Structure 1
Amino acid sequence: MDVASIRLSVFIAVLCICALIEALKPKRPLTQPKGFRWLNNLGLTGVNSVILMITMPLLAVEAALWAEQNQIGLLYWLSVPLPIATAVAVIALDCAIYWQHRLFHTLPALWNLHKVHHADQDIDVTTGARFHPIEIWLSMWIKIGIVIALGVPPVAVIIFEVVLNASAMFNHSNMRLPLLVDRMLRKWIVTPDMHRVHHSTIRQETDSNYGFCLSIWDRLFGSYIEQPKLGHQGMNIGIGVFREPQEQRIDKMLTQPFRKN
């Protein structure tokens, strides 16, 4: 089974599991028609996959294979054993994604792209796959640069992409976890309750809890907010613009970075 098949299989499996738990034990009532949102959010994911396939000369795994063949990158230069290099690389990539996410909130041009993700007025498993194609494209180049500079082993790239994919769907899901379970999990990983704060319409909360997998980065770098000010049931999801129902269509999402409202 190739890397693309592995990623797709994990994507479908985690999507189905999270969707089932959401349906059985939802955290919040959804405010938008679920079928309409799913069609457009997942449709945008399909558009992104096609664009990457057409426009990217190589992906992160191919970059890792090239670095391995040419022994380029810090971990190869230091002759770090593969098991240690793999663990270090996965953790380093997760930290890099944290800072990349924070950067997309800080620079106005990048925020214009990233706000497509935040313009979803509900948050569920499909929100974790809702990103503008240009953001996906830029993110892939950033990832490729890090993979080559660090000398990330190909196996570490595969592990990281699978974990990142699964984490994004899990922590965006609308599932209701018992408070004790959430409290225990969030010591190590980003939980749905932790990440939901990040999708608040209150900008201070939007600019917090950037992590995707490991929760340590937000605590370490001072961007952690434990709970939303209005509570999980009272908080509003989304951003101040693009509140009309038609803004959830693919065509509208594609043009949102270039419009103010």
Structure 2
Amino acid sequence: MINDTWIRLGVFISVLVIMMLWEYLRPNRLSPVSTGKRWFSNFFLVLLGSLVARLMVPTGLAAMAIYAQNDQIGLWNQISVSLWVSVPVSVLLFDCLIYWQHRLFHRVPMFWRIHRVHHADPHLDASTGLRFHPIEIALSLIVKIAAVLLLGAPVLAILIFEVLLNATSIFNHSNIKLPTKLDKLLKIFIVTQAMHRIHHSQVVHETDSNFGFNLSIWDRLFGSYIEDAANGDEGIKLGLKEYASPQTNTNLKALLLMPFRQKPNQ
């Protein structure tokens, strides 16, 4: 079997390149700040987050799933079910878990201080889908490890989930606009760019909506779905009002220190 790291990396790079080319050829919006500076900070955060994840779990989540299987830990290892059941159900449950984790990071002030690094981006493109503070990466990884062990998730489910999570995050943050009819059709099932742009609105009740990363069903099911922004898609102001300056929303040092500062000018 091909090493899961190479599968995830291959899909990650492929989706990133495709979406960045699409953005370049058919951009939805022009960036209000320097693209080079944004990209440097956003991609450096990706590298730091990857380093943190590698230090925490050197062999990856798949190895945790193998450990759970070998030691008969978790739900699926206690009952006899086919992979045709355990794999898709596990992927669905993990997607739901990420939805609720996302809502929690908006609801709890301590977690919001970390997550606002992602929301402070004044522009949305493929790089925004990867822009998370290393502390958030660490906390998210702890949640995933606990879920893998409690569920006893199959290795294949972990691989599918991680590939989907990375790919859909890049996809729905991308600076593109799908044809209206296609967007309406797709967001019945998955999170589209138009749906997720609402989540990055400066309007608070819009920011606290559309939390899904992959499937749109969770927002509909748990009452956090907004179909259209109050000012329409073109009228959405992106980012956070309190982080309007490039010195606070694109500067790498400021982004790394953001969770530890009460206000932007501190």
- TM-score clears 0.5: yes
Match for residue 62 of structure 1? 63
* Unaligned residue ranges in structure 2 (runs of 5+): none
Alignment of 1:203-214 (within 5 A): 203-214=204-215
Match for residue 142 of structure 1? 143
State the distance in 2 between where 1:71 and 1:56 align. Answer: 20
2:218 maps to amino acid:
W
Does structure 1 residue 161 correspond to structure 2 residue 162?
yes
State the distance in 1 between where 2:59 and 2:138 align. Answer: 11
1:115 maps to amino acid:
R
State the distance in 1 between where 2:107 and 2:123 align. Answer: 23
State the distance in 2 between where 1:39 and 1:133 align. Answer: 15
Match for residue 76 of structure 2? 75
Mapped contact 1:28–1:232 kept (Cα < 8 A)? no
Deviation at 1:21, TM superposition (A): 1.2
Does structure 1 residue 132 correspond to structure 2 residue 148?
no
Return the TM-score normalized by structure 1. Answer: 0.97
Identity %: 48
1:173-217 deviation digits (Å, cap 9, x = unpaired): 011100010011000000000001000000100000000000000
1:135-162 deviation digits (Å, cap 9, x = unpaired): 0001001001011101100110001000
Mapped contact 2:52–2:137 kept (Cα < 8 A)? no
Mapped contact 2:117–2:133 kept (Cα < 8 A)? yes
State the distance in 1 between where 2:256 and 2:7 align. Answer: 28
State the distance in 2 between where 1:168 and 1:48 align. Answer: 15
Match for residue 240 of structure 1? 241
Return the TM-score normalized by structure 2. Answer: 0.95
Deviation at 1:58, TM superposition (A): 5.4
State the distance in 1 between where 2:39 and 2:9 align. Answer: 17
My pick for the range that moved more, 135-144 or 31-40, is 31-40
Deviation at 1:81, TM superposition (A): 0.9
Mapped contact 1:45–1:130 kept (Cα < 8 A)? yes
* Unaligned residue ranges in structure 1 (runs of 5+): none
1:38 maps to amino acid:
W
Deviation at 1:51, TM superposition (A): 2.1
3-state DSSP of counterpart to 1:4:
helix
Match for residue 87 of structure 2? 86
Deviation at 1:3, TM superposition (A): 2.0
1:111-154 deviation digits (Å, cap 9, x = unpaired): 00000000000011100000000000010010010111011001
Mapped contact 2:211–2:224 kept (Cα < 8 A)? yes
Instruction: Count residues with an aligned counterpart.
Output: 261
Match for residue 251 of structure 1? 253
My pick for the range that moved more, 197-206 or 66-75, is 66-75
